[in-house]
Structure formats: C-alpha cells, structure tokens
Structure 1
Amino acid sequence: MIFTRFLCRNSTIFNPSLLWRRFKVTFGDPVEHTTGLEKRELLALLAGNEDPFNEEAICRGPGTRMQPTEIPSSFDSRIVGCICDEESYTIQWIMLYKDEPKRCECGHWFNLVQKAPI
C-alpha cells in the first residue's frame, strides 16, 4: 500500500508526457545555433537578399552581342534555360562559361558574370 502510494505520487516526475510542465525549454535565436551554409543563408536573408542562390528567373535585357544578358554565378560554368518565344512551351538549354558570351538559337546573347559566393 505504501509502495503504490509512493508510485502514484512520484509518477508525474517520470512520466514523459508531463515533463514539459517541469522542464519547459525555449530555444534562442536560430542564427545563434545554426552553422555552415545554413547560417550564411540566414544571414543573407536577414541582410535583405531574398534570393542568395540566384534561383529566380532573370528578366532578359537587350541581349545583343555588345550588351548580353548577364547571368551571375559563383562557379566557372552554369546551365541557363532560355524561353525563346513567349508562347513557347519548350526551353532551350545553354551551357555558359566564364567570360565567354554565348548566343541562343533565338539570337539572344548571354554572358556569365562572376559573383561572390555566399
């Protein structure tokens, strides 16, 4: 009898579903405990850069040989998709290399521009 009363009284201490009442843990700012690329991404987002990896579509500029559309990249090459016609359902894929302007089948020129990595 004494043993069961002891267990009933102290069962809330060892019951995992009731532990949150005793040990409520709150985490601080996520920037404080993230590391690596995730931390650099969070810092870029806090600085106001909503697209740190340049994944959004880029509006084409004049696209001439003298003024090609600049495509930013942290690497020496990048794959670019060009939708040549507004009503087209196909994408023309082009492999761009650093400092080598390249022309799409539609006549639009692209140039890879070096960008600082995150």
Structure 2
Amino acid sequence: LLHTNNNGRGNRFAIPTVDEQATGLEKIVLEASKRGTDPYSILKPRECAGSKQDPHIVPSITNKRIVGCVCEEDNTAVVWFWLHQGEAQRCPSCGAYYKLVPHELPH
C-alpha cells in the first residue's frame, strides 16, 4: 500500500509507518504506549523484588482482588489470597509482598 503525500522522509511514494496506518485497538495501544501507559495490560509487567520496599504491583478496578502466588519457581501449587487496597500485603506462604494499585479501564 503506497500513498502519495510527502511525509517528511524525502520520498513522495512511501509505505506508511505503523503510526500512520494504525486504527482501532492497535492505535489506542500505540498512543497509550507513547504516554507510558498500558491500558489493556498487554505489556510485560515491571519486575519487582517482592519486598516491602519493592512489592509486586497488582492493578485492579476495585478495592480488592484475589491473587495467586507460585511461591517457588518450580512449585506446582498456587497459594490464593485476597489483596486489599492500602499497604502492601504478604503472601501467607512465602512472605512475598504485593500491593494493589488503582487501574482505570480505557473505555
């Protein structure tokens, strides 16, 4: 697909960039990523230590959310617990810290 406007790249006939041809959900995600946000939580989360000073961040649209913790890398069991808004909370099994943060849906 070629277009004929001069887009500043010195070529009158050029293939549109991703930003120029994006529409719908793709455009929303591209614009949000330029602002530094991830409205649909599709990007890899920031790595955290799981300590009290650097807890795992859990986005939520409500004031509580159920969280599953796989306490050890090769563990097959999941420890489920409720995480409430406010201070960081610990996993009842391994002690890793989790913090609930508000998240707004893009619509």
Q: Answer yes or no: same fold by TM over 0.5.
A: yes
Assess if the C-alpha contact under 8 Å between 2:59 and 2:103 holds in 1. yes
2:79 to 86, 92, 117: 92
Larger Rg: 1
1:116 aligns with 2:71: no
TM-score, with length taken from structure 2: 0.56
Per-residue CA distance 1:94-117 (angstroms, 9 max, x = gap)? 211111321011110000011232
Instruction: Figure out how many residues of one structure are paired with residues of the other and give that number.
Output: 80
1:59 deviates by: 6.1
1:57 deviates by: 6.8
4+ aligned runs moved over 6 Å, structure 1: none
Unaligned runs of 5+ in 2: 1-22
Percent of aligned pairs sharing the same letter: 31
TM-score, with length taken from structure 1: 0.52
1:45 aligns with 2:29: yes
1:101 to 88, 96, 103: 88
CA pair 57-79 structure 1, distance change in 2 beyond 3 A: farther
Unaligned runs of 5+ in 1: 1-29, 32-41
CA pair 108-57 structure 1, distance change in 2 beyond 3 A: farther
